[in-house]
Amino acid sequence: MKRHPKNPIITRKDIVSTHPALQDVSSVFNPGGVIFDGGVLLLLRVQNRARQTFMLKAWSPNGVDFKLDSMPLPLNGLEACPHKIHHIYDPRITELDGIYHVICAMDTDAGCFLGWFCTSDFESLDFQGLVSAADSRNGVLFPQMIEGQYWRFERPNRMSLADGVKTGAAIVCAVSENLLDWYEVGEVFSGNPHFWDELIGSGPPPLKTEKGWLHIYHGVATHFGAANIYQAGVSLHDLNNPCRLLGRGKYNILEPRELYELTGQVPNVVFPSAAVAPASGGKTLNSEDEIFIYYGAADTCVCLVQTTVKKLLEAVHAP
């Protein structure tokens, strides 16, 4: 994983807007990302000093130098949400047949749900509905149907009961025929108590490679005194049944080391949320393909690391 020398590639200072709520914002982080219009499009999570959350679009021809919109992305149809919405954040973007599906976390007065939005042009997002039970986050939709169904990974926040599991301890797999109604089909893998990935959640939507679905996720080490440490890791899944784990890296592939990852609104956080292969043309990736991974650093700014499919596969199988 090579950190880009221009990191952090997007900071709060890049947000220039006449919108009254976007003056002197506090942070920009955890972007969703996808190849769009011959470049890389990011949906940025922006927070202001009222701790309100906005989504801002950014686009880059080279995946490094981004031009940011000056106005928040309009979100249409939210009046259909049955609950009072506090925040819509951490978008993950998947293209299916020319439609871009954006799955967000939606904090409401009834808990945190997965919210599903669609667009074909990123001029606005159309809300389609809440598509999980409360309380779920980190929903990532696979970029194709498998065995006639849509698939996603998600991370239910099953609250710890006495002697029970900790919240965020397992990623599960769900399937759907219409993208609205989802059925859990099994656990994908769970956290490793005492190690780097005690609590886990998917990062970007999985990438299709010749060897299987490559899945980048975050792991949280909770056993340090002062702070949780958010890191990134990688796993590999069967192409025909993503619930089947083919391998899982023992070591994290990215951890907070640079100042912009160690300090900020939430210290010690790298939070991968988008991965694109700009030169691949959307095909099944082979080992030489380069991957750009975008992540939030310290819940404060947006950063980029570059790697290859080969290196990520090596990390999956590291002894």
Under rule CB under 6 A, how many of the chain's residues touch ligand BMA? 8
271 binds ligand BMA (CB under 6 A): yes
Stretch that binds ligand BMA, among 3-11, 125-133, 263-271, 285-293 (CB under 6 A): 263-271
C-beta of 31 vs 296, nearer to ligand BMA: 296
Binding piece for ligand BMA, criterion CB under 6 A, among 35-43, 77-85, 91-99, 266-274: 266-274
Residue nearest to ligand BMA (CB): 266
Task: Determine which residue in the list 230, 260, 292, 295 makes contact with ligand BMA, applying CB under 6 A.
Answer: 230
Distance of closest approach, residue 112 Cβ to ligand BMA, in angstroms: 9
Q: Which of 42, 125, 232, 269 binds ligand BMA (CB under 6 A)?
A: 269
Between 112 and 309, whose beta carbon lies closer to ligand BMA? 112
What does the alpha-carbon distance between residue 286 and residue 310 come to, in Å, rounded to a whole number?
Answer: 8
Nearer to ligand BMA, 222 or 286 (CB): 222
Which member of 48, 291, 296, 304 binds ligand BMA (CB under 6 A)?
296
| Three-state secondary structure string covering 216-244 | EEEEEECCCCCCCEEEEEEEEECCCCCCC
Residue 259: strand, helix, or coil? helix
Residue 250 CB partners (closer than 8 Å, separation 6+): 318, 319
Residue 247 and residue 259: Cα distance in Å, rounded? 31
Q: Which residues of 9-37 are buried (b: 16+ CB within 10 A; e: fewer)?
A: bbbbebbebeeeebeebbbbbbbbbbbbe
Which of 36/113 has CB closer to ligand BMA? 113
Q: How far is the CB of 214 from ligand BMA (least distance, A)?
A: 22
Closest to 42 in 3D by CA, of 100, 3, 99, 88: 100
Shortest distance (Å) from residue 102 CB to ligand BMA: 15
Between 127 and 271, whose beta carbon lies closer to ligand BMA? Answer: 271
Least Å from the CB of residue 149 to ligand BMA: 28
Smallest distance from the beta carbon of 29 to ligand BMA, in angstroms?
A: 7
Does 227 contact ligand BMA by CB under 6 A? no
What three-state secondary structure class fits 140? strand
Helix (H, G, I), strand (E, B) or coil at 20: helix
Sheet architecture: strand order including 301-308: 2-3, 301-308, 290-297, 270-276
Pick 102 or 269: Cβ nearer ligand BMA: 269
Burial of 50 (0-12, 13-18, 19+ CB in 10 A): exposed
Distance CA 128, CA 314 (A): 38
User: 16 to 45, contacts with ligand BMA by CB under 6 A?
Assistant: 30
DSSP H/E element including 306:
strand 301-308
Query: Of 174, 147, 292, 170, which Cα lies nearest the Cα of 235?
Result: 170
Q: How far is the CB of 9 from ligand BMA (least distance, A)?
A: 17
Q: Is 255 in the site for ligand BMA (CB under 6 A)?
A: no
**List of residues contacting ligand BMA (CB under 6 A):** 30, 90, 230, 266, 269, 271, 296, 299
